[in-house]
Amino acid sequence: MEFSAEVNSIIEAEIQRMEESKQKYAELGRKASLICYPAAGALLLSVFYFSLGGFFWFLVLFVFGIPSILKSINRSSLVTQVKQNLLIPVLGEIMPDITYTPTLCVPQESFESSDLFERPSRYKGEDLFEGIHGKTTFSFSEIHAEKKTGSKNNNYKTIFKGLFLVADFNKKLANETFVFTSGGGKWFSKYKRVRLENPEFESNFKVFSDNEVEARYVLTPSMMERLIALEKLFEAQLFASFRGNNVYIALENRHNFFETDVTAEITKQVIEDVVAEIDICVGIIDELDLNTRIWTKQ
């Protein structure tokens, strides 16, 4: 993706500032190591020498851990800095119709109204993109939805982790149609299984719907091809539902979307890669041809 001169100047100025912050953090880290490691050593000797109790052992570990804690705090503040100071202004320039909020995600109600997965008991996500692309209103973000499995506090099972997109569907829907990737998600449904003509689609997906005709109205031969292509493009497992005038696309993929490796050198290329990734996600709307509005719903 080629950026304009204006965007390039924003990126260059910000990369400069980021590098300065990184150096500052690295310096801080070095100082912390210089102080904390000898201090932890001295504490350890004292614990042995004076035969001190449990609390002091904890203190030794804590002092020893300070540099690592500091490193991880610095890392996350750099990630935030990249998103806030680099991505938001760059996107504002190149995709003015899209709002990016790094800390928010697609609301849980939307996730639940897709009816693709079980109701999660713990739900989080980040990197919310929303706006209008062509004629289609959409929002997408990373989502991690989990379900509590036992009575213990930390027993959670992941229901879904990946990219979740909600968009306004271009045809009127009165019924519900679900597309599950084969070998993933719900293996049965309250609805009837619909068999479609495309053999590749049939081997990749299972379709359920409460109305066979509407399922085929939604899943036209070209829509089937597009869903196959989308799954390949993202190297992900694809789940989709068409209900309540919306299309919900869930791409299960452990890859951390829209994130830069802040430990490596931040270059223009890195930002270009992230923007390209966002562009591919917005491209789902083109891929599914949601902007073609030749039906009664405009």
Can you give the binding site for another protein, defined by CB under 8 A?
A: 171, 194-197, 212-217, 220-222, 289, 292, 294-296, 298
Exposed e or buried b per residue across 152-181, where buried means at least 16 C-beta atoms within 10 angstroms of its C-beta: eeeebeebbbbbbbbbebbbebebbbbbbb
The nearer residue to another protein, 202 or 272, going by C-beta atoms, is: 202
Between residues 64 and 191, which has the closer beta carbon with respect to another protein? 191
Q: Residue 118, class by beta-carbon neighbours within 10 Å (0-12 exposed, 13-18 middle, 19+ buried)?
A: middle
Is the CB of 7 or the CB of 215 nearer to another protein? 215
Q: Strand, coil or helix: what is 265?
A: coil
Q: Measured from the CB of residue 292, what is the shortest distance to another protein in angstroms? A: 6
User: Nearest approach, Cβ of 196 to another protein (angstroms)?
Assistant: 8
Q: How far, in Å, CA of 9 to CA of 16, rounded?
A: 11
**Closest approach of another protein to the CB of residue 282, in Å:** 21
The CB-of-195 to another protein minimum distance in angstroms stands at 6
Q: For the chain, what is the radius of gyration of the CA atoms?
A: 24
> Would you give the DSSP letter of residue 290?
T
Of 144 and 216, which CB lies nearer to another protein in the complex structure? 216
Nearer to another protein, 155 or 222 (CB): 222
CB of 180 to another protein, least distance (A): 19
- Residue 296 Cβ, how far from another protein at the closest point, in Å? 5
Smallest gap from residue 215 Cβ to another protein (A): 8
Query: In angstroms, rounded to a whole number, what is the distance separating the alpha carbons of residues 101 and 83?
Result: 9
Query: Backbone dihedral region of 72: left (phi > 0), alpha (psi from -120 to 50 degrees) or beta?
Result: alpha
CA-to-CA distance for 187 and 117, rounded, in angstroms?
11
- Residue placing its CB nearer to another protein in the complex, 59 or 196: 196
What the block records as the tokens of 37 is: 């490691």
Q: What DSSP element (H or E) covers 212? A: helix 212-218
Backbone φ and ψ for 283, nearest 5 degrees, come out as -65, -15
Residue 72 vs 298, nearer CB to another protein:
298
